[in-house]
Structure 1
Amino acid sequence: MNNGVFPYKWTSLALGMAMLPMAGQAQEFALEEIVVTAQKREQSLQDVPLSVQALSADQLEQNAVSSISDISNLAPGVSFSNIDDGGNLAIRGVGTEALGVGLEQSTAIYIDGVYQPDISAIADLADIAQVEVLRGPQGTIFGRNAAAGAISIRTNAPTDVVEGSVKIGAGSDDLRTVQGVLNLPISDTLLTRTSVTYRERDGWQTNTDMPNGPNLYEQDKHSIRSRIQWLASDDVTVELSLDHAKQDGTAGGLVIEEVGTLDPGAGFSTTHKLDGSSASGSGTYNDALGNLIALKPTLEREINGVAVNVEWDINDEYSLLSTTSYRYSSEYGADTVGGNFSVAAGSIPFTTGYVGYAESKFRTYSQEFRLSYSDESIDWFVGANYYTSKAQEGLNYALPAVGWAYYAASGGTTPGDLALGTLGAAQNYSNVTTDSYALFGDVIFQLTEKLNMTVGARYSYDEKEVDWDDVQQTAGQTPGAEQLFYPNIVNGITQDGTNRLAEGKDDWSDVSGRLVFDYQIAEDATVYAGVSQGYKSGGFNTELSSGGEPVASFDKEKSTNYEMGLKSTWMDGRLLANASAFLTDYKDYQFQVAEPGSIAAVNLGGDAEVMGVELEFAFQATENLTLGLSTSYLDTEYMDDVSVSGAGGTAFAVRKGQELARAPKFSTIASADYLYPLGDAGNLRLNATYSYSESYRLSNADVEGLQGNGIVFEESDLMSGSYGILNARISLESADERWTASIWGTNLTDAEYRDSSGINYANTVYGDLGGTMKTYTRNEPRMVGVDFSYAFGG
């Protein structure tokens, strides 16, 4: 770790704390108290001894947040790629690329207490009460993996009054939105609340593979969520939650920066850069008759869920909560990880690997019991969680005719004669079954009037099984001498001389804990310090590599976090100032890289270290003006060299001292909200949020010295680039606060940065047929729109 970082971090923290002891006279206005459930208890944000940021429903609306990936522009230290592009999530630089169904996220996402195994299958955010971002391991509080942190989303609960709202909107690229909420009590003991959303938008990125086809990032989404609450008695509440969402549209595409020389000697070489408004959507392949076909950049998702919560207040001190849930999600779309991509309309496609469709399905069931107790001196809960999941993944690819020998033997004389592969030449269908059990608990002891101690513990056990239903894989070097693409597995049978089925089974267990002390140093100021641990189970590589063992598992991930911080309010509640400093050690941190000579990524483990400082300020400057500032500084590194071997030899996966992916050293978010009274005409409201991030790595790949087909790769090819995003909204509210008309804009400066980055290079499996190029996906450009809302009842 670079010791030079320490002075900066601790100086920043000291300067932040030095700003706090500000005296002020009593005022008639102050910041609203924020109540969170970060520790599975209702507490003031300022009483929670951990780093947590709460995003209100109003903050989400002011920033036109519709997808969970949008929150990365509201929470520093959180990196979340476009949800329509896979949704990679990292907190404090720790995350998991969503490659295959045999692994899980390091950050747990919960909606109304229900774990969401597939982060891409989270519907548009609507009727949200609050989003809580918990940084650092949360293993003793939540029922599933939370080695890096957790995001808890709470929707609005039913109430006993008739009320609701309707909101319609329009915007860039023919955006059309409708949202409706109806809170309807059926009787004194039966309450209901239902929200409905509809969102349709044309794509904002031109698809160079299909000039006359649909644009990329096209959206057609709808969702519905209902909460039905039965007040069975004064002590028992039963709630049924139902949700459904569906999405039809198009995926994003790869912006191509540079394409290598077509090898050898065909006289075709180019470098070409698309400006980001255009991209290669999904590639091309040959049909059975040899016709060149462009894949449709399809993206389809469906989500269904049901949950039952039963809460029993046994007496004034004890309560019992049971949460039962079932979830189903499916996704089908074009796979743009590799392929025969065109660089401009009508141009010859370049062979870079494979192109095809991918589909996945998740069926999950969970049951959790939680017994809680609270009195004046102690607050505790114990919980038991059972979770089972059946995940399926299907990959259907067209492999190119690889190698110049194949091209020449096929009678090719010009690049236009390239014999591309047919869809179905490579198939990989896998199934992963997970069974998980956990016992956990957390207790707060009030040692003195000002000193509390929190102790937590957790035991986890995970078991996973994997098998392959159908694997077909032939790729040619010369006609009639095709080689196996997956040499270790053919049609569900491993090729080890025993004809055993291609299936594997493994299990992992872990004991983790938490110990935190918090001390009230002033009436509205508390300091805390402690240590906490997190855990994530191991898994299997379901995207088979060309040379790897098909049933080999990878190890569990374990994190230990040391943290100290300050929670405080000053100036009679007008100023909030929070700070935290932390150091986290990761053992066998799971990351993904491609094996040399293979296009499939494998999961590896390596030790890593993350340290940083986080500052958060909110200031009620006047009765009508609120200012906010949040900052994160991270220093991350791998602690050892990690190598990976494949058909193309052995190479570094990561190097000692290399930064983790999606870990910006510095990120900050500043906001301002001003309400200008207009008398009987209502109020004019102005809101602006600016988020800035330094450049960060987008991939764990080590590209030092890598070159092919005339292209030399550098570390900058894997960087996001620094960027600033400005969101703003101007609203006119009626005096009775029922009508609101707004003009809004996101990314108003039209900043462009890399949302993900890829390199494709020729290898021993495919040969050297033009297979080297630099690609990336980009963020959403400037969007503007208007919306109108009306609230009734209440």
Structure 2
Amino acid sequence: MKTYNSKTFESRRGLRLAAMLGATALAPLAASPAWAQAAAEASVDNNTIVVTAQRRAEAVEDVPMTVTVVTPETLSQLGVNSVRDLQNVTSGFSLNNSGTYPQPAIRGVTTTNSGSYENNVALWVDGLYQITPQILNMDLPNVQSIQVLKGPQGALYGRNATGGAILLDTLDPTSDMKGNLEVTYGRFDDRRARGYISGPLSENVGFSIAGTYRKTDGYYKKVSLTDVTKTDGRTFGLEQESVRAKLKGDLGALTATLAYNYTRANDPRGAFFTPFENLTAGFTPRNLGEVSEDAAVLDFKQHEGSLKLELDTGIGTLRSVTGYQHSTLVTTYDSDGRYSAFGLTGVANDTISDSLIYEDTWQENVDFTIDAIENLDLIIGGTYFQNKEKFGKGRENANYVFPNTATSGPGTPFSAYRLASTSDYARKKEAFALFLDATFRVSDKLSVNVGGRYSKETQDITAVKTSYCAVLTGCAALGATAITIPFGATRGQNYNAANGSTYSKFTPRASIRYEIAPRTNVYASYSQGFKAGEWNGVIPFDNAATWRQFGQIGQETIDAFEVGIKGAGSNYSFDLAGFYYKYHDLQVSSVQFVNGVTGVLLQSIPEARIKGIEGNFSFNVTPEFKINAGATWLHARYGDGAYYRGTSVNPAAVPAFPNSADPLRGMTNVFIPPAWQDISGMQMVRAPDFSGFVGLEYKVPQGEGGLTFAANLKYTTSYVVTDASIWGGETDASYTARLAAAGGGNIAPNNQQIFTAAGAAGQPYLARANEQRARQGAYALVNASVTWTDPTDHFYVRVWGNNLTNKIYKVHYRPTTRTYAPIGEPLTFGGTVGYKF
């Protein structure tokens, strides 16, 4: 295949137009009616993968960065149902949780800010930035392609692309009638249906519509209400439904696409707080995957409308994508993580939190891709983004306390709880950016790229906490009748605060690429990314005066250097890259419960360093036998001065439930105030030293169909799941006193202080003071499927199994008042029947 230089302008133009129509594919496009004729101009080899990582269409081997492309065939054959499942087939990528929010990581770059905060791996769906993390949990109904861009993408994809970006494109209207409908039934009464239909309405107008539905009983074991030492059935079942519709019309040189998307995900797995370690009196020890909570609701809904306009100007394409999103998120959870019952020690403090969050987002993305200038590809663009977030009336992070009366017990309805406090807030974010990117083709083989973006963001936030009783025990003493105080009334204390901030950053990038052989390139690149600062919606420690100190965090930045080689041939493709990241002011957080309310303690680590090697290859051994594999070797460590306020343990306290296997896991946690911990030089969160995958696919042809066997193995070494806390640390009183005595300065916390202060009780654990406690051990996941497709390639039947070794692994791990850890799906299996045309 040729490289796309000035001598092959028409080929480059065809590739650009193909990408405009979502043509990230492995085959050329057929002839089409007028509204889709641009696709026919693309001239692409059968094995060339076209990507839009640089906002223009290029063969993937010509892009000077690591890009993973996941095709629809891979998604279906290997059980990839959501963005979450991409971690099984994508090197250097993982997706875990922090509380109720899914958080991706690419090469160790991630966020642990638990709450309504944006991730630092940007997700774009059909050209629109997705602010709400819950989208990451959704099933994928009609995916055309998924591109995972690794490394900071600040120049082309803007704010919050510190670690990279995920570009998800759904099926555009097609030139002829196409469709697919399938139903699935699996373990845990997992019922799914999804499908799409696409085609022309007239010579100039096409349509596509897709939908999904899923409902399960859940894989968590439900603790019995009548005998809390036993389990009774399954719980935390999820419900999902979505509709995506597009109309696309040709208006001559102008193409317009109008789209509407509706998404609902009722997924209580994120509201899990049942503890299994570091228990206190009044709890019953639980195993991983057991649930004993009084309330768990996590119901997300989003409506999204968009208009995409593409104008072929003769010298390039001017594109505008305008979008509006309205979403609601209902969250109800029992932070205590156990059933409540009258008479148990400490049950008077059992609480349930309830909230309804509204988000409204407007965005405008404009870019002009100019390819008519000889030896130059030029992109000029800008973005505008506005997000408003607020609580619904009467559900402002409301905190309710258990009605401690003789008639209350396990299963007491939420309606009987008493209102203890509300924590209201409203936040507005407004951002704009201008960017320019230029690629100079110095010769047929050598190209140089430079680009950059200037971004500016303002945030305004107000917060009011109203406490209806001085302490929770005072609330419980008010009697059996629920308190009914209208919003805005006061009882006890009121905390008010208002703040704002502005962030700005210029994020450059540059690269050089040289073709050493046909379709084989070496490259070197530099890129930068940044994530804007954040404000905590809950006033820390019920003290408005400390909001700026503990409830606000500045922006983070990252500088990335990468060298690599990429190539492709008639039956193979490969890439190999080495990278080094300098990470500054990275955002981290811990979680505390203050008077029953969940509080996120936002923190900043001055620096971190990440270096690694990543390789991927795909090889068609024969036309019927394919191999895909990838691996990432990573060394990601916090730098000097990484002082973290986390959760330690108290060896001086008598454990309520001693743990003979590991005594530290039986001790009570030290969490208010949090301990000071020196985590300098320790492994960064979600950054295993090694992870890799290998996938195999073998097909026995039968006409246009046949029998396809597919299997995938994903392996990862031990890593810190969510919380960077260590077992040791220094108490707040001790560390503050030492700082005062020294007159301030850069004084590291003494990680052994908590153990030495406990005297003989702490002596056996001094050597473990620096051990990161919230770790997941090494594990492997195996998925496999067998698919029969009839000789006409219309009907298919698939039998599949995921996590075939039934590995129990943690997707979130947080020590707070007690320690809890949600788990990933255990062994699941089922069957799928489908029809396509």
TM-score calculated relative to the size of structure 2 = 0.78
Q: 1:754, CA displacement in angstroms?
A: 1.0
Residues 181 and 196 of structure 1 are in contact (CA less than 8 Å); yes or no, is this contact kept in structure 2? yes
CA 1:717 to 1:200, structure 2 compared with 1: closer, same or farther past 3 Å? same
Residues 263 and 302 of structure 2 are in contact (CA less than 8 Å); yes or no, is this contact kept in structure 1? yes
CA 1:674 to 1:560, structure 2 compared with 1: closer, same or farther past 3 Å? same
Distance in 2 between the 1:479 and 1:242 partners? Answer: 50
Residues 702 and 790 of structure 2 are in contact (CA less than 8 Å); yes or no, is this contact kept in structure 1? no
Distance in 2 between the 1:214 and 1:222 partners? Answer: 25
CA 1:785 to 1:84, structure 2 compared with 1: closer, same or farther past 3 Å? farther
CA 1:684 to 1:650, structure 2 compared with 1: closer, same or farther past 3 Å? closer
Q: 1:648, CA displacement in angstroms?
A: 4.5
Distance in 1 between the 2:671 and 2:788 partners? Answer: 63
Q: 1:80, CA displacement in angstroms?
A: 0.6
Q: 1:668, CA displacement in angstroms?
A: 0.3
Distance in 2 between the 1:183 and 1:446 partners? Answer: 39
Alignment of 1:639-658 (within 5 A): 639=639, 640-644=641-645, 648=672, 651-652=675-676, 655-658=679-682
Measured against aligned partners, the alpha-carbon deviations of 1:141-195 in whole angstroms (never above 9, x if no partner) come to 1144211100000111111212212111111111211112111311111110001
Identify the residue that residue 696 of structure 1 maps to in structure 2. 719
| 1:672 equivalent in alignment to 2:691 | no
Distance in 2 between the 1:71 and 1:648 partners? Answer: 37
**1:581 aligned to 569, 578, 582, which one?**
578
CA 1:516 to 1:214, structure 2 compared with 1: closer, same or farther past 3 Å? same
Identify the residue that residue 750 of structure 2 maps to in structure 1. none
Alignment of 1:230-241 (within 5 A): 230-233=249-252, 235-241=253-259
Alignment of 1:107-506 (within 5 A): 107-122=121-136, 123-208=138-223, 210=225, 215-233=234-252, 235-248=253-266, 250-251=268-269, 253-254=272-273, 256-262=275-281, 272-276=285-289, 278-280=290-292, 283=293, 294-295=294-295, 297-315=296-314, 317-335=315-333, 338-339=335-336, 341-342=338-339, 354-375=351-372, 376-393=374-391, 394-398=396-400, 422-468=417-463, 471-472=466-467, 474=469, 476=471, 479=474, 502-506=497-501
Q: 1:79, CA displacement in angstroms?
A: 1.6
Residues 643 and 650 of structure 1 are in contact (CA less than 8 Å); yes or no, is this contact kept in structure 2? no
SS in 2 for 1:96: coil
Identify the residue that residue 59 of structure 2 maps to in structure 1. 44
**1:528 aligned to 517, 523, 531, which one?**
523
Q: 1:44, CA displacement in angstroms?
A: 0.9
Letter of the 1:172 counterpart: R
SS in 2 for 1:59: helix
SS in 1 for 2:69: strand
Measured against aligned partners, the alpha-carbon deviations of 1:397-442 in whole angstroms (never above 9, x if no partner) come to 23579xxxxx9xx99xx99xxxxx9442132121110000100111
CA 1:595 to 1:334, structure 2 compared with 1: closer, same or farther past 3 Å? closer
Q: 1:602, CA displacement in angstroms?
A: 1.7
CA 1:547 to 1:354, structure 2 compared with 1: closer, same or farther past 3 Å? same
Distance in 2 between the 1:450 and 1:690 partners? Answer: 37
Alignment of 1:19-38 (within 5 A): 32-38=47-53
Letter of the 2:383 counterpart: N
Distance in 2 between the 1:203 and 1:245 partners? Answer: 20
Q: 1:477, CA displacement in angstroms?
A: 7.8
Measured against aligned partners, the alpha-carbon deviations of 1:553-609 in whole angstroms (never above 9, x if no partner) come to 32111111011111013xx53232211111111111111124697852221111211
Name which of structure 1's ranges 113-122 and 595-604 shifts more when overlaid on structure 2: 595-604
CA 1:400 to 1:694, structure 2 compared with 1: closer, same or farther past 3 Å? farther
Identify the residue that residue 791 of structure 2 maps to in structure 1. 735
Distance in 1 between the 2:473 and 2:288 partners? Answer: 37
SS in 2 for 1:542: coil
| 1:624 equivalent in alignment to 2:624 | yes
Q: 1:84, CA displacement in angstroms?
A: 9.7
Residues 591 and 816 of structure 2 are in contact (CA less than 8 Å); yes or no, is this contact kept in structure 1? no
Measured against aligned partners, the alpha-carbon deviations of 1:725-773 in whole angstroms (never above 9, x if no partner) come to 1111101111121111110111111111111112233xxxxxxxxxxx3
CA 1:597 to 1:608, structure 2 compared with 1: closer, same or farther past 3 Å? farther
SS in 1 for 2:157: coil
Distance in 2 between the 1:648 and 1:154 partners? Answer: 45
Gaps spanning 5+ residues in structure 1: where?
1-29, 263-267, 284-293, 402-406, 416-420, 483-489, 762-772
Letter of the 1:241 counterpart: A
Count of matched residue positions in the alignment of Structure 1 and Structure 2: 706
Distance in 2 between the 1:222 and 1:98 partners? Answer: 27
Name which of structure 1's ranges 303-312 and 541-550 shifts more when overlaid on structure 2: 541-550
Gaps spanning 5+ residues in structure 2: where?
1-44, 411-415, 478-486, 647-669, 730-753
- Select the structure with the greater relative contact order (CA < 8 A; seq sep ≥ 6): 1
Q: 1:81, CA displacement in angstroms?
A: 2.1
Residues 106 and 121 of structure 2 are in contact (CA less than 8 Å); yes or no, is this contact kept in structure 1? yes
Letter of the 1:641 counterpart: A
Distance in 2 between the 1:301 and 1:180 partners? Answer: 22
> How big is the alpha-carbon RMSD for the aligned residues of Structure 1 and Structure 2?
3.6
Residues 201 and 207 of structure 2 are in contact (CA less than 8 Å); yes or no, is this contact kept in structure 1? yes
Distance in 2 between the 1:114 and 1:567 partners? Answer: 29
Q: 1:650, CA displacement in angstroms?
A: 6.5
Identify the residue that residue 13 of structure 1 maps to in structure 2. none
Measured against aligned partners, the alpha-carbon deviations of 1:652-682 in whole angstroms (never above 9, x if no partner) come to 25521122111111100100000112459x4
Identify the residue that residue 604 of structure 1 maps to in structure 2. 603
| 1:789 equivalent in alignment to 2:805 | no
Identify the residue that residue 685 of structure 1 maps to in structure 2. 708
Name which of structure 1's ranges 193-202 and 705-714 shifts more when overlaid on structure 2: 705-714
Distance in 2 between the 1:83 and 1:178 partners? Answer: 29
Residues 187 and 829 of structure 2 are in contact (CA less than 8 Å); yes or no, is this contact kept in structure 1? yes
Letter of the 1:119 counterpart: P
Residues 693 and 724 of structure 1 are in contact (CA less than 8 Å); yes or no, is this contact kept in structure 2? yes
Distance in 2 between the 1:116 and 1:328 partners? Answer: 11
Residues 596 and 650 of structure 1 are in contact (CA less than 8 Å); yes or no, is this contact kept in structure 2? no
Q: 1:392, CA displacement in angstroms?
A: 2.2
SS in 1 for 2:776: coil
Measured against aligned partners, the alpha-carbon deviations of 1:181-234 in whole angstroms (never above 9, x if no partner) come to 11131111111000111111112212327579984331222111011001011x
Q: 1:113, CA displacement in angstroms?
A: 0.7
CA 1:507 to 1:319, structure 2 compared with 1: closer, same or farther past 3 Å? same
CA 1:351 to 1:556, structure 2 compared with 1: closer, same or farther past 3 Å? farther
CA 1:567 to 1:272, structure 2 compared with 1: closer, same or farther past 3 Å? same
Identify the residue that residue 802 of structure 2 maps to in structure 1. 746
Residues 711 and 782 of structure 2 are in contact (CA less than 8 Å); yes or no, is this contact kept in structure 1? yes
Identify the residue that residue 564 of structure 2 maps to in structure 1. 565
Distance in 2 between the 1:54 and 1:613 partners? Answer: 19
Letter of the 1:703 counterpart: I
Higher helix fraction (1 or 2) = 2
